[in-house]
Amino acid sequence: MKVFSGTSCIELSENICSKLREKNNDIKLGDLKIDRFSDGEILPNFLESVRGEDIFFIQSLYNSDIIIETLLVIDAAKRAGCKSFNLVAPYMAMSRQDKKDHNRSSFGAKMVANILESSGIDQLITIELHNPAICGFYNIPVINLNGNKIFIDYILEKNIEDLCILAPDAGAQKRASNFGKKIQNSSFAMINKKRTKPNIIDSVELLGEVKDKNVLIIDDMLDTCGTVCSVTELLINNGAKSVSAIASHGVLSGKALSNINNSSLNKILVSDSIPNRYTKNNKIVYVSCDKLLADVIHALTHKESISKINDI
């Protein structure tokens, strides 16, 4: 087995290798050079032999250039004679395009599945797909890890009183409910929202009691944070003592930083599935997914069960 990193998450990859060494795995990050020509063309080159090796390639697929880089690395590894290519993608791009919402729109999640599978990957390991049904777009093993696993110990250590777990929409209800089951004496609420355009919410309705509660919003990703900020104001107006949010993926694009800073949000907790760009912001806390991914890689290489790792 050899572990390599793409350019999107070198620090995370090094941390994963460090966690693997704690498990008595003699693992170091492999030597992979990725050059870029002045016009943006990408050229990957393995500087060590990978023939007959099980490769674990760690790369968060958060933009189109990174996807192309990954495809070229897969091609290089296959041509160099690797035994298997396991893509560890903490964040999967296009996962919000899990269905056709319009007659002539793209089907991004399926397209990414097609090109990754046809390029020759043998297995995909990822965290908290926007829709678990995306696993069915692949004809290879897909391990979709539970993002709640990253944060549950952090929250339990805080021992937050009067805690209310809130699902920001119907799609997050199961995720939030499972999180709440691990925290004794926590209550549950949810938001019913109507959206007509991406990132734009027409109306929101609170279902449940949040008065005098410390509310924790559970979601799979935070992008522009417009929704979570508007929900926060609704909760504060309904008597919540404080509002924080957890998301497996901190996309944090567009006006996200401004929205967070100008809101009543206490904290947001995100993993480092996407490189942590806002470490100096006192409202944003990064909780690493390195241990979760290292545990899975270790289990796969030792033919152990993934279920016991994925359960919270």
DSSP 185-210: T-EEEEEEEEEEETTEEEEEEEES--
Check pLDDT > 60 for residue 199.
Answer: no
Query: Among the listed ranges 37-41, 59-63, 98-102, which one has the minimum average pLDDT value?
Result: 98-102
pLDDT at 202: 66
Closest CA to 54 of 79, 87, 8: 87
| Interaxial angle between packed helices 290-301 and 10-22, expressed in degrees from 0 to 180 and rounded to the nearest 10 | 60
Q: What's residue 47's pLDDT?
A: 98
Mean of all residue pLDDT scores within the chain:
93
CB contact at 8 A, 232 and 263:
yes
pLDDT for residue 311: 82
- How far the first Cα of the chain sits from its last, in Å, is 28
Q: Which of 11, 10, 128 is nearest to 69 (CA)?
A: 10
Among 156, 134, 166, 168, CA closest to 312:
156
Residue tagged active-site, from 78, 193, 241, 291: 193
Q: What percent of the chain has pLDDT over 70?
A: 97
- State the maximum Cα–Cα separation within the chain, in Å, rounded to a whole number: 61
Q: Are 192 and 170 in contact (CB under 8 A)?
A: yes
Strand residues in 135-267 grouped as ranges (E): 142-145, 163-167, 187-197, 200-207, 214-222, 242-250
Report the candidate in 178, 177, 155, 152 with the shortest Cα–Cα distance to residue 267: 155
Share of the chain above pLDDT 90, in %: 82
* pLDDT (tens digit per residue) in 262-293: 999 999 999 999 987 787 889 999 999 999 99
Highest mean pLDDT (candidates 93-107, 186-200, 231-245): 231-245
Highest mean pLDDT among 12-26, 48-62, 189-203: 48-62
**Which pLDDT score, from 0 to 100, does residue 278 have?**
81
Q: Clarify whether 193 is annotated catalytic.
A: yes
**Residue 196 confidence (pLDDT):** 62
Task: Report whether pLDDT(245) > 70.
Answer: yes
- Residue pair 226/201 in contact (Cβ under 8 Å)? The answer is yes
Predicted pLDDT at 17: 96
pLDDT digits (tens, 9 = 90+) for 80-111: 999 999 999 999 989 888 887 778 888 899 99
**pLDDT tens readout for residues 173-187:** 999 999 999 998 899
Work out the burial of residue 226: count CB atoms within 10 Å of its CB; fewer than 13 is exposed, 13-18 middle, 19 or more buried: middle
Mean pLDDT of the region 26-37: 95
Of 127-141, 185-199, 233-247, the poorest mean pLDDT is in 185-199
Q: Rounded to the nearest 10 degrees, how much is the dihedral formed by the CA atoms of 73, 294, 177, 154?
A: -120
